[in-house]
Amino acid sequence: MATHATTAIDIDQLCINTIRTLSMDAVQQANSGHPGTPMALAPVAYCVWQKFLRFDPDHPIWPNRDRFVLSNGHASMLLYSLLYLAGVQAVNPQYETLGQPTLTLDDIKRFRQLDSKCPGHPEYRWTSGIETTTGPLGQGVSTSVGMAIAGLWMASRFNRPSFELFDYNVYVICGDGDLMEGISGEAASIAGHLKTSNLCWIYDNNHITIEGHTELAFSEDVATRFIGYGWNVTRVGDANDLGMLARALNVFHNTNDRPTLIIVDSHIAYGAPNKQDTSGAHGEPLGEDEIRLAKRNYGWPEDAKFMVPDGVREHFAAGIGKRGHDLREAWIEKFDAYSKVFPNLADELSRMQRRQLPDDWDHDLPTFPADPKGLATRDSSGKVLNALAKNVPWLMGGSADLAPSTKTRLTADTFGDFELDNRRGRNLHFGIREHAMGAIVNGLSLSKIRAYGSTFLIFSDYCKPAIRLSAIMELPTIFIFTHDSIGVGEDGPTHQPIEQLASLRAIPGLITLRPADANEVLEAWKVIMKLRHSPVALVLTRQALPTLDRTKYASAAGVEKGAYVLADAPDGKPDVLLLATGSEVSLVVQAFEQLSLEGIKVRVVSVPSWELFAQQTQEYRDSVLPPGVTARVAVEQASTLGWERFVGPKGHIIGMGTFGVSAPLKDVQKKFGFLSESVAEAAKRVLRG
């Protein structure tokens, strides 16, 4: 270990250069990665962490910690270097601190290698201290808006005079790529509208993307754009100027009426004179010769690799370590006193932080008697959602300007809207911003709020990147999608989802639920609320569906198993199976009644969730779908893709192989063969072989 003088200026620069050299060494050893951006932004990240961030490395999930998001996740070595140098401790899935560092120097040496704690892009749950998974550009900055909203909501919900439990800030480092992606514009717009003053984006204005200089495709005035969004905008002309960086961050701290954008001009130059780097964008290691030149410029031993000089980790411990420790200790002391004065709120907060439910979370949920006319599953869902919201105070969300259609508004006067003058409101208005809505829901969930977002199923495509990340992060987010099929009718093929169900089912870890009637909706919500590590897509109808008579047909409690026998042959030994989801279940029930009158032994299987069914034992799955019964018909008003696994080579699928058409519902259903007679005839055909 090298020994250096420890003047304030020297130690700051020594720490910054340690971040730089660790980053370039790790990328070089992996022969993969992005060294330029971590090198350029090392002073910025160091200033945030060492001088401002309220974060206790010994307890990295302290509820009132400041959040730090590296949105330009390709610069991941910047964050890994900080986590290592600050001595951040590991936390397990049970929220227990393990008494060991989340990263060791050996982990950094294994950057981008199999099972390394330093993967190519930061991954939440994989390495403690990482607040969100960032990879696709624009997702990190957009997720941070949800974190900021959560902080303001929790402050309003839990803070009391003399007990300010929540006042955290959210810091984000982002780049040109983040600000080019459309999602960041959506997110910045809503953050400005809501005046999330606890949010600070630090924009690395380095003018470089993969193809070269940003002037090839990006010439807008970013500062003017963000001023138009209602942000406070300030600028730092040199990323290496710690004094100006600190001044800009103090401006953020003193700005209480809007979010802040700090534009930081950086120029990635090192080694050979005037060499402009693009490796930060496209992931090329510098090469040994260039690294030696860079280290020479830093006054570093040219051949030293992964060197951490004496005093560097100690300096972090005396800075962010001591500050975070003292702040957390004071918070714990305050929370202990708070618990005595406000025991119910303290219990609520503790449960929320551990993703636990209140004891009475399922109290007074609605019941739905048999009704041949029934109601749309979006309507029954709205009734259940409102009942749950009364019992689970941290259940909140909204829609992309479609709450009257998706039935996701929380209607009690006490719920209210989350606005500038009501930070306690639980109805969020995302505006027509589906892409940002998904990321904001992720940010809320990362902050332990039970969050939902809603829109039409056809627009789930706009939410897909965020849904995918929620599955990677194992977040219990809730995405409610209505207008789920060609049943949309007159709106036509642009609004009639066809491939969306198949694409949602293709996402590993996502549970897709398409309930068949009001009682299946109720059971679906019971499943959803008990999930702690799985996101859900709840898919609902616009049109009314019969509420099945559960004294005649099986209990809807079978929803929790993903598929269940709804109606069966008298002896329980069917000759043909009819499978369906959602609105098509009542259709196959009609076919079942018709075929039964003809003496054909039929079983109806409701399949609300392929994923939940796959989690059951083989014995259960075989009891529902007997392997010996090969005559099978599946019915779904969507793409047939995937149903082959259920019907087998001798079965038949009634589904969509084309886009829909604009016409009244009954005409559309007739055109595409979604009639009980068509189902019955298909059943007879597969029986004949």
Active site residues: 434
Distances in Å between the Cα of 89 and the Cα atoms of 51, 84, 673 are 20, 9, 59
d(CA 632, CA 607): 13
Q: Are the C-beta atoms of residues 596 and 602 closer than 8 Å to each other?
A: yes
> Is 159 in contact with 151 (CB distance < 8 Å)?
no
CA–CA separation, 336 and 342 (whole Å):
10
Report d(CA 203, CA 200) in Å as an integer. Answer: 10
Long-range pairs, 321-330, Cβ under 8 A, ≥24: 321/56, 321/57, 321/58, 321/86, 321/87, 323/54, 324/53, 324/54, 324/55, 324/56, 324/57, 324/58, 324/62, 324/65, 325/56, 325/58, 327/54, 327/56, 327/64, 328/56, 328/58, 328/59, 328/62, 328/65
Bridge partner residues of 567 (DSSP):
604
24: Cβ contacts below 8 Å, ≥ 6 apart: 35, 38, 39, 285, 286, 291, 294
| Helix, strand, or coil (residue 649) | coil
Residue 195 CA neighbour count, 13 Å, CB half: 10
| Closest among 432, 433, 450 to 441, alpha carbons compared | 450
570: exposed, middle or buried (C-beta count within 10 Å: 0-12, 13-18, 19+)?
exposed
Phi, psi (deg, nearest 5) at residue 135: -155, -75
User: What is the 8-class DSSP label of residue 422?
Assistant: B
* Beta bridge partners of residue 632, listed in sequence order: 577
CB contact at 8 A, 47 and 109: no
Output the six-digit token pair for 210: 């993969």
d(CA 543, CA 245): 56
Query: For helices 288-297 and 8-30, what crossing angle results, to 10°?
Result: 180
The token duo for 551 is 């004294």
Close Cβ partners of 100 (under 8 Å, ≥ 6 residues apart): 89, 90
Copy the structure tokens of residue 585. Answer: 């279940």
**Residue 478 and residue 413: Cα distance in Å, rounded?**
23
Sequence length of the chain is 689
Dump the DSSP string for 142-192: HHHHHHHHHHHHHHHHH-BTTB------EEEEEEHHHHHSHHHHHHHHHHH
The 3 state secondary structure assigned to 220-240 is CCHHHHHHHHCCEEEEECCCC
